[in-house]
Chain A
Amino acid sequence: MAAAINMIIQASHLTKQFKSVRRKEGVLGTLATLFSHDYEFKDAVTDVSFDLEPGELVGYIGPNGAGKSTTIKMLTGILVPTSGHCTVNGIVPWQDRQANGRGIGVVFGQRTQLYWDLPLVESFRLLKAIYGVSQASYDRHLKKFSELLGLDEFMRTPVRQLSLGQRMRGDFAAAMMHEPAVVFLDEPTIGLDVVAKEAIRNFIASVNKERGTTFILTTHDLNDVEKLCARIILIDHGRKLYDGSIDAIKKRYGPNRLLTADFLTDAAGVDIRMPGVAVLERDGQRIRLEFERERVRADELIVALSRQADLKDVTIAEPELETIIRQIYERGLDRSGPAPQ
């Protein structure tokens, strides 16, 4: 395992099972539940393994109830796995929670760690004391974060009066105050507007680049992942489905690109018969095509089109990650695309 020493996070065969009482319907059922010993076991996470190198920015994605949060809770030391093992910064999180706490930062999108009744800066001061951050680093971080996140305008405002976007920006700064080597982000952009999302994405990218901080990001918003992460880990029903680069998953499961061509005249007569190209839609002077990236070159396709009528404009789009992922959830991994050559 010599190579593994460089890994900042190692998770091997992580498994978590929950036990709960089976509930019954209706008033009588409710009363019966009171005396029930009928338990059900739910496998939240099953046999999940992965390694992360320092400085990676990984999207950990899956539908609701896939086991994302449970995995994060095990990696942060909140939960003890039923079986399996993991280390973060070389520490087993649930065994030495205080040591673990010093090396990680956590942002729960729906739960703030800021003090509701007090100005934002007071929460930072408390965190400075909690993590034993020196005055010099504190001042430096605060200056840096204020620039990146624009905290200055609401630094002295009580947190309860902040907008959601402002509060989240505050939460990000709070999670990074002690320069953690690993940061866990659990739905960090949920409910935010476009501007706030953009500010937070830029912040993550910049901290990742400048400090080499490792990020694990769980989110519903695949735009976050597409903009930030090179690598994704996909889980569903508690099991890992895919672990690799976004480019690779696109190539493998989204082999088609989209081409939209606008002509100067009506496009009804345009007819393309090339292998690997399919017409999706005709609408007046516009035509929309789908073509396989491996078989058809875009320039050849455009030349072929321009021979048939006068072209006004052409746009080519990559398939959206969201579309691909949805297909994987719906059809399963194997049937979502062609096997790799």
Chain B
Amino acid sequence: MADAGARHWSAYREFWRLNFLTLMEYKVNFFIWLAFTIVYHGVALGAIWIMMSRFPSMNGWHWQQVFFLYALYMLGHTLNNTFFFTIGEVPDLVREGRFDRLLVRPLDPLFQVLSQPGQIWPDELVIALIVFILAQGAVHLQWSSSTVVLLVLATLGGAYIDFAIQLIIATLSFWVVRLDALRWVVMSLENDFTRYPLSIYNRAVRIMLAYVFPFAFMNYFPATVLLHKSAEVGYTFNPQLGWLTPVVGAVWFAAAYSFWRLGLNKYQGTGS
């Protein structure tokens, strides 16, 4: 098995090298995608700004804090995008029959999906860091060793929560040919509802975002710890919940991975 581990590791290094070469091949594309990323988050932040200008009261959260909420979400989300972005290609791989190739190679199929040379570069992660630096200044974040630990845990755990949800959607493509609609609803859940504090929503939405699609652990719960928001109007929860992000990430990833194994068996059973 040590041999298998070595092969996976050297294949992964080779993948990042090829990634870089592909990037050099398409320098113009890199700048287009960079602009794309900036516009994407710019539009999201713009929409938040517009909303905050008309709806300034968010259950006691002022605009700097809502901005911080988005910045925290960005950290986990972009970390996931940087390392696991190609999980979104699974439906295409399955539909076009290219997934077959991954099954005849001596590497784990999920590993191979995640190491498809593409044009991935940590540009989005860098933008997220810049936004975060601005946001922590805006809320006068009090830095201490526990702040650092919490931020690291929230970012890593957040990336795994994000990835686990993507993995579940990707796995569904072993059964369902087109998943655009489902992807669309999960994306909107993630995009629309991580932007505002969880406490403004009704009970059903809070339960959904905390326990079903646990996006609230990506930003809301850690933010309440960091911003000392333990007492929310109309919503009571254990104020230490923000520390649990990595646990939630691990549990969700484990569940998603089991589901993936199940889907893989199904794929081998029916073929395409």
Question: Within the complex, are A and B direct neighbours (CB within 8 Å)?
Answer: yes
Chain B residues whose C-beta falls within 8 Å of the C-beta of A77 in the assembled complex: 103-104, 268
Task: Determine if A132 and B268 form an interchain contact, defined as CB atoms under 8 angstroms apart.
Answer: no
From A106-114, A191-199, A201-209, A293-301, the one touching the partner chain is A106-114
Residues of B within 8 A of A98 (CB): 4, 106-108
- Given A98-B106, A117-B26; A79-B7 close (CB under 8 Å): no
Report the bound CA distance from A189 to B106 in whole Å.
26
Per-residue B-contact encoding for A94-129, CB less than 8 Å = 1, 0 else: 100111111010101001010101100010011001
Chain A binding surface, main DSSP class: mixed
B117 touches A118 (CB 8 A): yes
Q: Is B100 an interface residue (CB 8 A)?
A: yes
A126 proximity list for chain B (CB < 8 A): 11, 14-15, 18, 117
Residues 56-100 (chain A) with a chain B CB within 8 angstroms: 70, 73, 76-80, 94, 97-100
Distance of A327 Cα from B153 Cα, bound (Å): 70
A101's partner among B13, B22, B105 (CB-CB below 8 A) is B105
Structural contact, A132 and B271, CB atoms closer than 8 A: no
Chain B residues whose CB sits within 8 angstroms of the CB of A35 once the complex forms: none
Instruction: Answer yes or no: B270 CB below 8 A from chain A CBs.
Output: yes
Of the residues B7, B105, B270, contact of A18 by C-beta under 8 Å: B270
Q: How far apart sit A181 and B120, CA to CA, in the bound complex (Å)?
A: 36
A127 CB, min distance to chain B CBs, angstroms: 9
**Contact in complex: A132, B13 (CB < 8 Å):** no
Q: Is the CB of A78 within 8 A of B268?
A: yes
Is the interface on chain B under 10, 10 to 19, 20 to 34, or 35 or more residues?
20 to 34
Q: Do A118 and B101 form a contact, CB below 8 Å, given A129-B11, A131-B106?
A: no
Nearest CB on B from A341, distance (A): 44
CB <8 Å contact, B25 and A118: yes
- 8 Å CB contact of A129 from B3, B13, B100, B270: B13
Inter-subunit contact A129/B7 (CB<8 Å): yes
Q: How far is the CB of A281 from chain B (nearest CB, A)?
A: 47
If the complex has contacts A76-B104, A80-B268, are A118 and B13 also in contact, measured as CB distance less than 8 A? Answer: no
**19 further contact pairs, Cβ within 8 A, besides A16-B271, A101-B105:** A78-B268, A80-B268, A98-B4, A98-B106, A101-B106, A101-B107, A111-B100, A115-B18, A118-B18, A118-B21, A118-B22, A122-B18, A126-B117, A129-B10, A129-B13, A129-B14, A130-B11, A130-B105, A131-B105
Which residues of A line the B interface, CB within 8 A?
Answer: 16, 18-19, 70, 73, 76-80, 94, 97-102, 104, 106, 108, 111, 113, 115, 117-118, 122, 125-126, 129-132, 158
